Amino acid sequence: MILTTCEETYEKGQIIFEEGSSGDWIYFVESGAVELSKAVDGKPVIISVLREGELFGELAFIGGFKRTATAKALDNTVLGILDRSVLDEEYNRMSEGFRLLVRSLAVRLKKTTDACVGQTGCRRDVRKDMALSLSFKSREALVKAQTLNLSKSGLFVKTPMPLPVDTYFELNINLPDQSQSVTARAVVRWIRKETNDPVARPAGMGVEFTQMSDSDRKRLNAVLSDSRLP
């Protein structure tokens, strides 16, 4: 059972806390939905949409960071604030070795999240909105999907069943007016399973290219540089 000290109510669109602000309360979504986003080049990049029963704010509590994302209510939302005295008591009961492990995981999660939204290099290349068909293999079958955007270093795959984060796989991308697809080895950096706006923010996965032949990379870059394409 989640022990909360009080409840806070937020209206649709209201900011719960801003990225970079101080605070280490942990929140529990009792009803509604919360969007977590990070600013990249002055624009928000959605990290996740949280729904009833999910927690957020734990990185600030465990790692002592400032808020690593902006939290915004997507609907009229009720949040419970976890009992800080209980959390401190439980945390302090851990051995020093286990607390070090938990802190290390928090630091690693922060670095991974920053990388996936462009703070440490994964998104330095400009992404071009582009719908291209592609295919990749899951454990069960060959999956056909579509890109939402594309860059020299990666793309977003629109799919209702994204692969797990850190999965390495091979995908084939069909380029405009070309009979031969581009083949790339890639890794899943982040996923989005649910969204309140399936058109603007569809379910899918953010993918980083890890290996591609020189010829395929040249063909991909030529498409990205073609001003005739949207």
pLDDT at 10: 95
CATH of domain 128-225: 2.40.10.220
pTM of the model: 0.49
Q: Specify whether the CB–CB gap between 35 and 195 falls below 8 A.
A: no
Q: Specify whether the CB–CB gap between 191 and 204 falls below 8 A.
A: yes
Q: 174 or 2: which carries more pLDDT confidence?
A: 174
Where do you find CATH 2.40.10.220 in the chain? Answer: 128-225
pLDDT at 137: 87
Question: Smallest Cα–Cα separation from 75: which of 29, 23, 131?
Answer: 29
Average pLDDT, the chain: 83
pLDDT at 122: 46
Where do you find CATH 2.60.120.10 in the chain? Answer: 4-116
Superfamily of domain 4-116: Jelly Rolls (2.60.120.10)
Question: Per residue in 111-157, pLDDT tens?
Answer: 766 665 654 444 445 678 889 999 998 877 889 999 988 888 899 99
- Please list, residue by residue across 11-25, b when 16 or more beta carbons sit within 10 angstroms of its beta carbon and e when fewer do: eeeeebbeeeeeebb
Q: 123 or 170: which carries more pLDDT confidence?
A: 170
Percentage of the residues of the chain whose pLDDT score is greater than 70:
88
